Amino acid sequence: MFAVYADSFANSSDDPLTGLVLGERPDPVAPDGWTTVTVKAASLNHHDLWSLRGVGLKAEALPMILGCDAAGYDEDGNEVVVHAVVSDPDWTGDETFDPRRSLLSERHQGTFADKVIVPRRNVVPKPASMSFEEAACLPTAWLTAYRMLFTQGALKAGDTVLVQGAGGGVATALIALARAGGLRVLATSRDEAKRAKALELGAHEVFESGARLPVKVDAVMETVGRATWSHSIRALRPGGRIVISGTTSGPDLDDAELTRIFFLQLSVIGSTMGTRGELAGLVNLLDSTGVRPVIDRVLPMTEARDGFAAMAAGDVFGKIVFTR
Ligand SMILES: NC(=O)c1ccc[n+]([C@@H]2O[C@H](COP(=O)([O-])OP(=O)(O)OC[C@H]3O[C@@H](n4cnc5c(N)ncnc54)[C@H](OP(=O)(O)O)[C@@H]3O)[C@@H](O)[C@H]2O)c1
């Protein structure tokens, strides 16, 4: 079958796309308890670029088909969304706490292919109101945003939230979902055009990255890391919380702002992906509100390299989707 896969890792100084191959891979065979999904659409995440650099992926696992997210048909012809978190079969409860969990494309082959196999419990029905392209945006970036806001962040209607790095896949989801949840939404971006798009998407106010804000916020949603951390801590009201799920600009901080953290009694909360139940809740929220993922561009999967290059250049607003 056709697949987009990592054949080797790029060094940090190399073009991250060095080990990316578009070509043929063997059809997968579903073991007992697993099902085969025929992929109609899949979306790109920063995770796929990390994988090409060998972050979160072991050399022994190569060649590895990339991609965490997909929507398509199950073996009975039902339209489904794939849940990307694969937990141990014996694990019960919140699967994001399973120490043996992995994301598709880390241990099990990913979604950028004609077919992907997943445990049977890892498919969620796709509502007819949603296209395959839209549904394919949900399993990683949108699920992460949903859990950050409503589970880990415990935010409720009327709270004020700051979203850093407005253009990203997770960040655009955060803005749209926060607005749908009745929050007051502030967002930052380095880019003027992305700030304008963030306003269209639902942000109440937008600011240049690092700019002084007119109010202190209840919570900050962080995916940028080093470049915005200090600003995030300074944006919080006493007792406020920062929810972090990524470090696109790097994890090492010049100043962790520890004094502010204890003196203002701030909470720093990690967040990773989400549960199957949260994915079903997210799908339901979108079905009932009409909120839809922001799609930067849709490309045939055979042109996936262009999508990877755009993400590596930071030239995106929303999600990049590949179709079959
Ligand atoms: N923990 C999890 O489960 C989980 C799930 C999904 C994603 N993630 C992580 O979350 C991060 C975002 O993922 P994504 O797929 O949304 O990536 P993305 O679409 O590539 O977005 C990255 C955004 O970060 C901002 N940014 C990058 N470098 C910056 C800098 N130096 N200064 C300020 N802003 C900067 C940019 O915003 P502007 O251009 O608007 O400034 C950019 O749009 C990644 O690190 C990813 O690995 C984690």
Strand partners, 299: 322
Contact present, 265 and 290 (Cβ < 8 Å): no
* DSSP secondary structure, 173-238, as one string: HHHHHHHHTT-EEEEEES-HHHHHHHHHHT-SEEEETTPPPSS-EEEEEESS-TTTHHHHHHHEEE
Strand partners, 119: 34
pLDDT of residue 124: 97
Ligand 1 near 43 CB (within 6 A): no
What is the distance between the alpha carbons of residues 69 and 42, in angstroms, rounded to a whole number? Answer: 5
pLDDT of residue 39: 98
Nearest in space to 5 (alpha carbons), one of 18, 21, 17: 21
How many Å lie between the centroid of ligand 1 and the Cα of residue 77?
Answer: 35
Would you call the peptide bond into 293 cis, given omega within 30 degrees of 0 as the criterion? no
Question: What is the end-to-end Cα distance of the chain in Å, rounded?
Answer: 12
Contact present, 109 and 68 (Cβ < 8 Å): no
pLDDT of residue 164: 98
pLDDT digits (tens), the chain, 324 positions: 999 999 999 987 788 999 999 999 999 999 999 999 999 999 999 999 999 999 999 999 999 999 999 999 999 999 999 999 999 999 999 999 999 999 999 999 999 999 999 999 999 999 999 999 999 999 999 999 999 999 999 999 999 999 999 989 999 999 999 999 999 999 999 999 999 999 999 999 999 999 999 999 999 999 999 999 999 999 999 999 999 999 999 999 999 999 999 999 999 999 999 999 999 999 999 999 999 999 999 999 999 999 999 999 988 999 999 999
Which pair of tokens denotes residue 287?
A: 């079905």
How many angstroms from the chain centroid is the CA of residue 231?
A: 22
Counting atoms of ligand 1 from 1, which one is nearest the CA of 46? 15
**Residue 24 belongs to what H/E stretch?**
strand 20-24
How many Å lie between the centroid of ligand 1 and the Cα of residue 318?
Answer: 11
pLDDT of residue 246: 96
Ligand 1 near 227 CB (within 6 A): yes
Strands 319-323 and 34-43: antiparallel
Give the DSSP letter of residue 114: S
How many Å lie between the centroid of ligand 1 and the Cα of residue 120?
Answer: 30
Nearest in space to 137 (alpha carbons), one of 262, 318, 2: 318
Minimal-distance CA residue to ligand 1 atom 37: 165
| Most informative mutation of 224, 231, 272, 321 for ligand 1 (most atoms within 8 A of CB) | 224
Which pair of tokens denotes residue 247?
A: 């470090």
pLDDT of residue 14: 80
What is the distance between the alpha carbons of residues 222 and 216, in angstroms, rounded to a whole number? Answer: 16
What is the distance between the alpha carbons of residues 190 and 317, in angstroms, rounded to a whole number? Answer: 12
| Most informative mutation of 149, 223, 319 for ligand 1 (most atoms within 8 A of CB) | 223
CA quadruple 266, 177, 126, 298: dihedral sign: negative
What is the distance between the alpha carbons of residues 241 and 257, in angstroms, rounded to a whole number? Answer: 14
Ligand 1 near 101 CB (within 6 A): no
Q: Is 131 helix (H, G, I), strand (E, B) or coil?
A: coil
Which pair of tokens denotes residue 31?
A: 């073991």
What is the distance between the alpha carbons of residues 166 and 144, in angstroms, rounded to a whole number? Answer: 15
pLDDT of residue 291: 97
Ligand 1 near 293 CB (within 6 A): no
How many Å lie between the centroid of ligand 1 and the Cα of residue 162?
Answer: 15
Minimal-distance CA residue to ligand 1 atom 23: 168
Minimal-distance CA residue to ligand 1 atom 11: 246
